[in-house]
Amino acid sequence: MPQVKVKGITLYHEIHGRGEPLLLIHGLGYPCEMWFAQLLIFSQEFTTMIFDNRGTGRSEKPDEEYSIRQMAENAIGLLDHLAISSAHIVGVSMGGLIAQEMAIEFPKRIAKLVLLSTHYGTGYWEATNLLWEETLSVSTGKMEEIIREKLRFSLTPEFYREQWEIINRIVKIRCVNPQPAYAFMRQFEAAKKFDAKERVRKISAPTLVLSGTEDRIVPIELARRLAEQIPNSRFYEIKRASHLAFIERADEVNRLILEFLRQ
């Protein structure tokens, strides 16, 4: 099993393809298998690395305080272990917070940066507090039922209603290595404490910010504000897509990311 001890924690990781290094960082509660719509495409051109954040999937899940800085250091530690001096980074949602922290604190390690469905912290929780109260209230029933119900918040109603094969695949991925409730809350609290509004201006890597127009978890205006604060960045909205735009509109998202990385 491809696991490595970095910064005091064992992380599960996979490496696919050949080419320039590309590290994909997932969000709150999601294991690395959730990159199923990107992995085959990206690995045709890049050495594509995926891993489970602490508290997720097949990585360790200590019941202790987590921080975004800590998870960023874990990701840098993984690059160190793989002897990679710099890489392109794609981060989605909480993974986007981790990617921001990496780009701010370890700028020489970042070639290009892609931030998807994410924000810089300030104003986020005030804007989404009621939504999160509703989301976190879904906690009774079988795990499969809870996961399926929570997906309603991350997908457009049309996709949730029509794409049952993909939804079943997501539910299966989440159920294979289930995340304990305490680990979810440890990640959640780490994300809640993150605030980089006054620091994202330090990001020097060329940056692409993507956001779904129907995203309820991270409203598009917050993603747009993030892009406005990062020098040398560009913003692109994904029409008719919600928080999981990289799955709902995978072809478009993949095309935009690859075009950006090739330039």
* Two structure tokens written together for 103: 């780009």
Residues in the chain: 263
Rounded average pLDDT over 183-197: 96
Query: What percent of the chain has a predicted confidence (pLDDT) above 90?
Result: 90
Looking at residue 1, its pLDDT comes to 56
Rounded average pLDDT over 97-111: 98
Looking at residue 137, its pLDDT comes to 87
CATH number for position 108: 3.40.50.1820
The DSSP element (H or E) to which 245 belongs, if any, is: helix 245-248
Rounded average pLDDT over 21-35: 97
Confidence of residue 136 (pLDDT cuts 50, 70, 90): confident
Rounded average pLDDT over 125-129: 90
Closest CA to 31 of 144, 175, 159: 175
Q: Is the per-residue pLDDT at 182 higher than 80?
A: yes
Q: First vs last Cα of the chain: how many Å apart?
A: 35
pTM more than 0.95:
yes
Q: Which residue would you say has higher pLDDT here, 257 or 138?
A: 257
- What is the overall mean pLDDT for the chain? 96
Closest CA to 155 of 167, 169, 168: 167
Q: How many domains does the chain have?
A: 1
Place of tokens 């127009």: 213
DSSP assignment of 24-40 equals EE--TT--GGGGTTTHH
Closest CA to 122 of 228, 29, 17: 228
Q: Which domain holds residue 56?
A: 3-262
